[in-house]
Structure 1
């Protein structure tokens, strides 16, 4: 089991139950329950999970995420081919940032709020060993792993607008869209051009998007935070 865990962690992607994919993201403001539109996103060897629930906050139905020394997320499975521009827009609010948070170190790779954009794996651009590892996971779990990913984060000290590789894998690039205690406790609206960000992060046009996830995690720092996520929208 340890070998399987190492394979999964090397891609920083959890085991997911299979489900139908779509071309749109269900709004938190209009759904009655989180599932099936938003699936749990749980990681091997991390037993303590973040708690997600639909709540009314400031007159709008949103998702509240409470994390305390654990990690998990919610994912919407999609299949979307980006065109020349694809704008991701959302709003969020956090109770605090993590004092030990550091996007450049594994020990500080925690965020009170993040949006995870996963892209389709491109086997023609991968080496033999990587393809073999992915095939092993697929055979064992019946789950195809994605390829590159963008993580839009509410960072602690990483300057706003900074792009850095994830400390666990260069296949995931962290982008600080908020940083520090400025705007803590306030709703913040964020807009990002996914195509432009992918080109800057990986030097090429993006493949299809296969998942959009939210995650509040604190398993590395052991700290506590609450985040609120409003509707997440994609506009070509």
Structure 2
């Protein structure tokens, strides 16, 4: 499946206001506020792909007294997204917790056939025409004509990889506009909840060589359409912080 084609069509820069400055975190994924088997928090919606008929199932479930997202896939792919405008200078740190039941035997972040992950967090960044080159403006204008809105200019993917070493930064197998960061790798910590904290300013500069534009969306995805394997994952609350 062509991830960048999907990003062009789905993860568009649909911006809404983030909260004003305060000491409290901005919880973009307040899953723990939901109910077991209930609806997702406001703003979260499914992502499905035109050429993929088998979808990942996402449900809210109570685990040890806290409601989290349970994701189950069997050779399928889909995600959950919240389109939200966030200033990364004001909210430079993203934090979340996650758990996987397994990793993929055929997972490989360097190839299209292996471009599946039992868990990943997407952070998409808005295209800004005034700061783009002439060629970029033409390219993104054509994309907007097809899809109705500008696609994101870039995407950071925080992944739970199979064999890619932890800490590795590499381009997505489909496009250099999506950069992959192996936050976890391998099966050693499968079945264990892990809390992650990443500085988006630092990661974006390392990935793309410049300061980031506004964030336009955050998504979770557990997919297996390329490898044809199965996986179960869990996602806890996702939040943005002012500083580490």
TM-score by length of 2: 0.86
**One of 106, 126, 132 as aligned partner of 1:125:** 132
Cα deviation code 1:111-151 (max 9, x no counterpart):
000000000113343553x5445334433432321111100
Task: Please provide the CA RMSD for this pair.
Answer: 2.4
Question: Which structure 1 residue ranges, 5 or more long, are not aligned?
Answer: none
Is 2:158 the partner of 1:152? yes
> Could you list the runs of 4 or more consecutive aligned residues of structure 1 that deviate by over 6 angstroms after TM superposition?
16-20
- Residue 182 of structure 1 and its aligned partner are, at CA, apart by 1.3
- Secondary structure at 1:90 match in 2: strand
Partner residue in 2 for 1:135: 141
Is 2:68 the partner of 1:52? no
Aligned pairs, how many? Answer: 230
1:1-236 to 2 correspondences below 5 Å:
9-10=4-5, 12-15=7-10, 21-23=16-18, 24=26, 25-32=28-35, 33-34=39-40, 36-83=42-89, 86-123=92-129, 124-126=131-133, 128=135, 131-236=137-242
CA contact (8 A) 1:166 1:174 kept: yes
Following the alignment from structure 1 to structure 2, what is the Cα–Cα distance between the partners of residues 17 and 165?
A: 20
Following the alignment from structure 1 to structure 2, what is the Cα–Cα distance between the partners of residues 167 and 81?
A: 28
- Secondary structure at 2:78 match in 1: strand
Do the aligned partners of residues 219 and 13 (structure 1) sit closer, same or farther apart at CA in structure 2, a change above 3 Å counting?
farther
Do the aligned partners of residues 26 and 99 (structure 1) sit closer, same or farther apart at CA in structure 2, a change above 3 Å counting?
closer
Question: Which structure 2 residue ranges, 5 or more long, are not aligned?
Answer: 19-25
- Residue 58 of structure 1 and its aligned partner are, at CA, apart by 2.2
- Secondary structure at 1:49 match in 2: coil
Following the alignment from structure 2 to structure 1, what is the Cα–Cα distance between the partners of residues 12 and 155?
A: 19
Do the aligned partners of residues 97 and 26 (structure 1) sit closer, same or farther apart at CA in structure 2, a change above 3 Å counting?
closer
Do the aligned partners of residues 26 and 98 (structure 1) sit closer, same or farther apart at CA in structure 2, a change above 3 Å counting?
closer
Cα deviation code 1:40-86 (max 9, x no counterpart):
12223122211101111122100001111111111111111111761
Deviates further, 59-68 or 24-33: 24-33
TM-score by length of 1: 0.88
